[in-house]
Amino acid sequence: MWRRVASLSPMISSSSPSRSLARNQAAFGLNIRESFATEISKPEEGAKSPFITFVLGGPGSGKGTQCEKIVETFGLTHLSAGDLLRREIAMHTKNGDMILNLIKDGKIVPSEVTVKLLQKELESSNSSKFLIDGFPRTEENRVAFERIVGADPDVVLFFDCPEEEMVKRVLNRNQGRVDDNITTMKKRLKIFEALNRPVIDYYKNKGKLYTINAVGTVDDIFKQVLPIFTPFEEQLKQSRHVNPKSPLLCFPPFIILRTEKMVSIVYRPSFCYPTISSSSMKKKPRHYEQLKLKQIQDNNNNGFTSLSLSKSSPTPVLVGKQPIQRTKLEALDSVITELETSARKGITITEPEIFASLLETCYTLRAIHHGARVHRLIPAYLLRDNLGVSSKLVRLYASCGYAEVAHEVFDEMSKRKSSAFSWNSLISGYAESGQHEDAMAIYFQMAEDGVKPDRFTFPRVLKACGGIGSIQIGEAIHRDLVKEGFGYDVYVLNALVDMYAKCGDIVKARNVFDMIPHKDYVSWNSMLTSYLHHGLLHEAVHIFRLMVRDGVEPDKVAISSVLARVLSLKHGRQLHGWVIRRGMECELSVANALIVLYSKTGQLSQACFVFDHMLERDIVSWNAIISAHSKDSNGLKYFEEMQRANVRPDVITFVSVLSLCANTGMVEDGERIFSLMSKEYGINPKMEHYACMVNLYGRAGMMQEAYSMIVREMGFEAGPTVWGALLYACYLHGNADIGEVAAQRLFELEPDNEHNFELLMRIYSKARRIQDVERVRQMMVDRGLET
């Protein structure tokens, strides 16, 4: 933290002599070093302490929104203790596993752990001014921060908001949090008051607390915040020095570009630099500021060059106090464009770290087209010989669905046998795109080439194995992973459970599940979804109960999966009660599953109750409630309400609406909606929609219209659902002539479906065509459908 940048490394190949470069540095008076340095320099003597702001406030006080505005206005770096803990868990570090276990056990993460994560961010950041959100929560947090970090906050903001207002805001925000319900909200506010009040009082006594009335519009509240930072304006203007080892989320803080007459240093928009004079602060900051250094011939005329600043004043040497904000993608695009411009001028960039950093950013942002541009800039020898650069490029292409392109890069790698990383990326790319056989082929090639698989190899190849459904290959891979020492790795065993289930051996899947020593959430969810996939609802419910008993809280995905498949109203209501006790009844996916549950079990009023009390609805919600009214004309009211809510119907919506029109005999409404589908919403009718229309006309006795829909309106061959709807309509209305045509097509499309033969026999029976009945019965005997 607060580092200066040291010497200039040869980021770009140049014909200029190195001694000339050294002389240039001396003339400028500042050594410049590219940001991929491997050592962290210690803070200089007299370096200023960081500017720290704590932000406190209860849930729903609006501090999150205000934090965003503070960061945007004053350029502070935003840190959140909660986000840091979640990131540590996601990275599967030793600390992360410990934190996850504490949370699972319902224990509080020790203050020392949280503070050390904050300290790590403070020390590794390029910034010297920070906003720490929602911390400290307790007196223990505060004491630990002062002891470990050794710094006091400059400002402590407390957003004071009445309890009723906070409850109302939380219940309306619908961010998908399981604790956003009245009961748990009131508990959270009591806990906040008990734990946070001593912290608030402490900073109040020290004269550092600023209380904000958090009722009003966002802008009105922010007007109270602005004057608080005025006394600290000069401190906020202090420069932020680059830490050479700070984690590069996107790319280096600057890029050095050399030409024959000029060296340009292009800076990142997220960095703030000091200006030459106070008057230069008035200049409007730009996204990128270039420091142009002219080459001046040495007095001795010895060919050496020195660097001097442009004399125009008060133009800032570097970026002013507050750079214009850019998205990461925009900043990435600008840097790549600069590099492309340099390449066109004949400047060759040879530092692999630059390309590795850019490719990492492209991967993080899923920016495949930017990655392809970077690919074109990388020298061929670097792609061939530098494992780090080529591996990242393979991963980028593979993860974005371009497995074939990734394979081409992979084939050119000279050192691919030295690491499993690129092999894993390629296996994953093929598996994710459904090319399971290719993924398996890469794994077998990996074994042939003597590349040692790691714990990330097996989950990927097991997914591919589940895709092809080969139990024999799966068992062979199981033996391989045991041989390699991963027989008790939870990450690998979870994938093994999933593989056996997808290959159809649910017993082996359960055996592997029982072998997992310390089951995590993924373990339980893999077994749960495996039972559901095989239709073993009783076993799935049993796993669900064991999961809860062991203290692993099922998430909304797991709960929704069980609810959607429950057939028993009794079990469904028990699960609904459990959901309410956990405060999860307002979760979108859970509420959608409850609508499906109650409509399936004939509890239409209960389904409507759940729908009417949803705080948020998506297309699935509307489709579920319309489908629940498939035999009730009220479903059309929901469709009209959906349109008024400006929710765009999809293919499934129109299937549900047309079905209910057919079932309720609303021919004119059905015709209007069928026309609306293509003309207003641009949805081309599919097989299911034509089947609904045939069913609509057929049930209404409009047989010629139904038959004409098939032979004249459809732009493709009708399938069994369409001809089946017509045949059933012929049975209802005793139309033997059209019924014979429909049946003949169905006999060709579904030669083993005895229901079609029986339906035609009933049509003939109604028409008293006994000989034809016997003829069709003999056809069934000949085909082995009747003895």
In the block, tokens 């010297």 appear at 128
Q: How far apart are CA 35 and CA 256, in angstroms?
A: 11
216 annotated binding-site participant: yes
> How many other CB atoms are there within 10 angstroms of residue 519's CB atom?
19
135 annotated binding-site participant: yes
Q: Which residues contact 44 (CB under 8 A, 6 or more apart)?
A: 2, 4
Beta-bridge mates of residue 131: 53, 78
CB 295 within 8 A of CB 261: yes
136 annotated binding-site participant: yes
DSSP string computed for 89-147: HHTT-HHHHHHHHHHHTTPPPPHHHHHHHHHHHHHH-S-SEEEEET---SHHHHHHHHH
Q: How far apart are CA 593 and CA 591, in angstroms?
A: 5
Q: How far apart are CA 386 and CA 349, in angstroms?
A: 14
665 annotated binding-site participant: no
Structure tokens given for 475: 């068992």
631 annotated binding-site participant: no
109 annotated binding-site participant: yes
List Cα–Cα distances, 282 to 14, 129, 285, 287, 290, in angstroms.
37, 21, 9, 16, 18
**CA nearest to 357, candidates 245, 249, 269, 256:** 249
86 annotated binding-site participant: yes
In the block, tokens 């109270």 appear at 224
List Cα–Cα distances, 418 to 116, 387, 391, 444, in angstroms.
35, 9, 11, 16
- Kind of pairing between the strands at 129-133 and 51-57: parallel
**CA nearest to 193, candidates 58, 362, 87, 376:** 58
Residue 55 has phi, psi (to 5 degrees) of: -120, 120
65 annotated binding-site participant: yes
147 annotated binding-site participant: no
State which amino acid sits at residue 345.
K
141 annotated binding-site participant: yes
173 annotated binding-site participant: yes
775 annotated binding-site participant: no
CB 164 within 8 A of CB 173: no
64 annotated binding-site participant: yes
DSSP state letter for 683? P
Structure tokens given for 660: 């209910």
- Write out the E strands in 623-679: none
Q: How far apart are CA 731 and CA 398, in angstroms?
A: 54
188 annotated binding-site participant: yes
Beta-bridge mates of residue 156: 54, 209
Classify residue 117 as exposed, middle or buried by CB count within 10 Å of its CB (0-12, 13-18, 19+).
buried
| Residue 77, SS3 per DSSP | strand
247 annotated binding-site participant: no
Q: Which residues contact 18 (CB under 8 A, 6 or more apart)?
A: none
Structure tokens given for 457: 């190899």
CB 161 within 8 A of CB 58: yes
Q: Tell me, rounded to whole angstroms, the distance of Cα 15 from its chain centroid.
A: 46
271 annotated binding-site participant: no
Structure tokens given for 345: 């001028």
23 annotated binding-site participant: no
284 annotated binding-site participant: no
CB 148 within 8 A of CB 112: yes
315 annotated binding-site participant: no
CB 280 within 8 A of CB 314: yes
- Binding site members for CMP: 141
- Binding site members for a ribonucleoside 5'-phosphate: 86, 107-109, 134-137, 177, 188
- Binding site members: 60-65, 86, 107-109, 134-137, 141, 173, 177, 188, 216
